[in-house]
Structure 1
């Protein structure tokens, strides 16, 4: 019986911790970042010359979701990971996306940014 109580307590504790992480904005997964920015890939690879409307929708959505410092830091880390894993990304084009979409993210989009310092 005591073992069951311990298990129930542990599950409850995990749920509370996960809820706290979500409230702090840290639950914004890299998969979400990648799917939001998927429409941008042809542009940042230089395959098209204009930013697709779906790209700006994704940029704006991410910007509104990243409304805490931890969430912005996580998006920064995800962006750096994407830039390194997606072949053919032109970082000049990628760094200009927020401005082209009318969004200010508060830090440069670059693989050299220290994401831990993003506010």
Structure 2
């Protein structure tokens, strides 16, 4: 029996859906990995932001630059903001002025860093 054009088109569509599904799963896995990396990196700033450490470490500033570089789009910025925010809330105390001053003190332009427990990452504007 010879395959009909409909069966060939159906097979091609199924293959395309399978490939797209794999890409979506890979992207979700990458996003989860980026979240864990961002949370770990921000851990270098946690003591300073909580007011436990008086000196800002160079590692914290490098971590901020790394986090910024992980989020080239506003969608990624919102996602990483939410990850870091979750980490901040779990850690407890946040000295707002210290969190807000981090980018300037480190010389790192990063606009999506949460600065308070009630920071709303969904309000990060589109940059494009």
TM-score band by shorter chain is: 0.7 to 0.9
What do you get for the CA RMSD once the two structures are aligned?
A: 2.7
Instruction: Give 1:45's aligned residue.
Output: 50
Shift, 1:101, TM fit: 0.9
Q: Do residues 12 (structure 1) and 5 (structure 2) align? A: no
Alignment check: 8 A CA contact 2:34 2:70 kept = no
Give the TM-score, by structure 1 length: 0.73
Task: Confirm whether residue 116 of structure 1 aligns to residue 122 of structure 2.
Answer: yes
Q: Distance in 1 between matches of 2:73 and 2:33?
A: 11
Compute the displacement of 1:73 (Å): 0.4
**1:28-107 to 2 correspondence within 5 Å?**
29-107=34-112
Unaligned runs of 5+ in 1: none
Query: Is the CA contact 1:37–1:55 (under 8 Å) kept in the aligned structure 2?
Result: yes
Instruction: Judge conservation of contact 2:94–2:116 (CA < 8 Å) in 1.
Output: no
Between the two proteins, the alignment pairs up a number of residues equal to 110
Considering only CA atoms, is the larger Rg found in Structure 1 or Structure 2?
2
Contact residue 36 and residue 55 of structure 1 kept, 8 A:
yes
